[in-house]
Amino acid sequence: METILVRANLLEFLSAEVIRFLNEDPSNRMGEAWGDERIWEQPLLGAANGADPIFETFKDTVDPLHWTPIEAFAAGGLEAKAEELTAVSWVLPKNEQTKKDNALRKDLTTERWARSRFFGEEANIKLRVHLVEFLKNAGIEAVAPTRLPDWSRLNSERYIYTSKWSERHIAYACGLGTFGVSHGLITPLGKAVRLGSVVLRGLIPTAPRPYTSYDEYCPFKANKTCGACIKRCPSGALSKRGNDKRLCSAYMDNESARTSWNTSDLTATAAASARPVSPALQVFLENSTDTVRSGSGFVLLWVRLSANCILVFSCFLAVIHQHICSFYNAV
């Protein structure tokens, strides 16, 4: 037991490193068109002991193949007792402008949002790898379960899409939030977030989770109030019955061709940039056609609509004028 690290300040130690990484690492930037704007703002971290019984319950609620912390540790070639381990999870919130811009859209996401999703997850992957190395340098063994070769996504009869290490469920176990109608995690930093985690050999004192049920933060689950996500969902995948993931996925596949981004400068910027566009974003970009971009695009859209209205009205006046002239000529 003497080799187990018990550090009351280990979570603060990790929080400080995550904040430093997000501030300094170039991966946490939107891209040249947005200058040095950060993708992720101030994070929130939580922890759960590796022997917490909640991890066993995920074999039922997520998938029988879902890992416990000790199984994830073993998948990384490391040995420990469950109670010697701690799962540490973090919440990365999108920046305020990204959320504001996206709120204006009704059918598809903004380019800024998609960049946060794709480039932001690349930063999140880099953060996982970095933290494992950072802990190793501090003499603490750790794994990032979703970066392990044996980790994989799973097709589930019950939940459609799952994986061997669900970041949302780990964050839930670490006291960072509960699930909403869309199965997204409602965290103290909101729902426009990405999550990540590591499992480390060491003990971090943890407080009891601030909730007792998996959907406690969602008022729709409790008393059918709110439902804002159901009203906003453009595909009909969200309903009072829950989330139809197949419908959502089909909508995303079919509608991505309608994305309204100006991609010419983006692809040129990406080509000239040191950071390549991820293959998934490239596919998304190649299917893009229009020139509307977030806030300024909204103004452009209104200018276009106004111009079209003036044109239609002018045609209407011309037709009326023609009819009046014809009438008087006939008389």
Cβ proximity of 197 and 89 under 8 Å: yes
Q: Which stretch binds ligand SF4 (CB under 6 A): 32-40, 147-155, 167-175, 176-184?
A: 176-184
Beta-bridge partner residues of 86: 49, 200
If one asks whether residue 181 binds ligand SF4 (CB under 6 A), the answer comes out as yes
CB of 247 to ligand SF4, least distance (A): 16
Q: Which of 261, 251, 125, 96 is nearest to 182 (CA)?
A: 251
Q: Phi first, then psi: what are they for 124, rounded to 5°?
A: -65, -40
Q: How far apart are CA 82 and CA 112, in angstroms?
A: 41
Q: Are strands 238-239 and 242-243 parallel, antiparallel or unpaired?
A: antiparallel
CB of 191 to ligand SF4, least distance (A): 6
- The secondary structure of 49-67 as a DSSP string is ETT-THHHHHHHHT-TTPP
Nearer to ligand SF4, 227 or 245 (CB): 227
Nearer to ligand SF4, 92 or 181 (CB): 181
Nearer to ligand SF4, 32 or 219 (CB): 219
Q: Which stretch binds ligand SF4 (CB under 6 A): 31-39, 125-133, 174-182, 254-262?
A: 174-182
Q: Which of 67, 90, 71 is nearest to 80 (CA)?
A: 71
If one asks whether residue 189 binds ligand SF4 (CB under 6 A), the answer comes out as no
Nearer to ligand SF4, 190 or 295 (CB): 190
Which residue is closest to ligand SF4 by CB?
Answer: 180
Site for ligand SF4 in 211-230 (CB under 6 A): 218-220, 226-229
Nearer to ligand SF4, 121 or 216 (CB): 216
- The secondary structure of 75-106 as a DSSP string is HTT----GGGEEEEEEEEEBPHHHHHHHHH-S
- The secondary structure of 249-299 as a DSSP string is HHHHHHHGGG-----HHHHHHHHHSSSPPPHHHHHHHHT------HHHHHH
Nearer to ligand SF4, 10 or 218 (CB): 218
Nearer to ligand SF4, 80 or 218 (CB): 218
CB of 219 to ligand SF4, least distance (A): 6
Q: Which stretch binds ligand SF4 (CB under 6 A): 55-63, 119-127, 175-183, 286-294?
A: 175-183
175 DSSP assignment: T
Nearer to ligand SF4, 78 or 229 (CB): 229
Give how many residues touch ligand SF4 by CB under 6 A.
11
Q: How far apart are CA 224 and CA 273, in angstroms?
A: 48
| Coil vs helix vs strand at 149 | coil
Q: Are strands 142-143 and 193-201 parallel, antiparallel or unpaired?
A: antiparallel
CB of 98 to ligand SF4, least distance (A): 18
CB of 112 to ligand SF4, least distance (A): 21
Nearer to ligand SF4, 189 or 229 (CB): 229
If one asks whether residue 180 binds ligand SF4 (CB under 6 A), the answer comes out as yes
Q: Are strands 178-179 and 185-186 parallel, antiparallel or unpaired?
A: antiparallel
CB of 190 to ligand SF4, least distance (A): 10
Beta-bridge partner residues of 184: none
Site for ligand SF4 in 229-268 (CB under 6 A): 229
- Contact positions vs ligand SF4 (CB under 6 A): 180-182, 186, 218-220, 226-229
